Amino acid sequence: DELSKEGIQWSEFLRLEENKSEVVTIGSARKYRVESSSFLHMGFNRRYFIIQDLTSEILKSEKESYGKVIRMMAHEVNNTIGPVNSIIDSVISHISSQGDQDYREGLTIAQERNEQLNVFMRNFADLVRLPSPSCSRQNMSLLVEDVISLYRPLLNDLEIELKNQVEDDIYALIDPVLIRQVLINIIKNAQEAISETSKSDGIIEVLLNLNEGRPHLQIIDNGKGIDPEYENEIFTPFFSTKQNGQGIGLTLIRDILTNHEATFRLFTENEKTIFDIYFQKVK
pLDDT band at 99 (very low <50, low <70, confident <90, very high): low
Q: How many CB atoms lie within 10 A of CB 235?
A: 22
Please give the pLDDT value at position 240.
75
Please give the pLDDT value at position 3.
53
Residues 157-169: pLDDT tens digits?
Answer: 999 999 999 999 9
- Beta partners for 216? 209, 278
Q: What average pLDDT does this structure show over 28-47?
A: 76
Per cent of the chain over pLDDT 90 is: 27
Contact indicator for 222, 201 with CB cutoff of 8 Å: yes
Contact indicator for 117, 81 with CB cutoff of 8 Å: yes
Please give the pLDDT value at position 171.
95
Q: What is the mean pLDDT of the chain?
A: 80
Per cent of the chain over pLDDT 70 is: 77
Q: Is pLDDT of 83 > 60? A: yes
C-alpha to C-alpha distance for 76 and 82, rounded to whole angstroms: 10
Please give the pLDDT value at position 228.
78
Q: Please give the residue that has the higher pLDDT: either 182 or 111.
A: 182
C-alpha to C-alpha distance for 236 and 180, rounded to whole angstroms: 22
Q: Is pLDDT of 205 > 90? A: yes
pTM, entire model: 0.66
Q: How many CB atoms lie within 10 A of CB 27?
A: 19
Contact indicator for 269, 225 with CB cutoff of 8 Å: no
pLDDT band at 172 (very low <50, low <70, confident <90, very high): very high
Q: How many CB atoms lie within 10 A of CB 84?
A: 13
> What Å distances lie between residue 124 and 189, 233, 257, 260, CA to CA?
18, 19, 18, 21
Q: What average pLDDT does this structure show over 17-24?
A: 74
Q: Is pLDDT of 237 > 90? A: no
Please give the pLDDT value at position 127.
65
Q: What average pLDDT does this structure show over 232-246?
A: 72
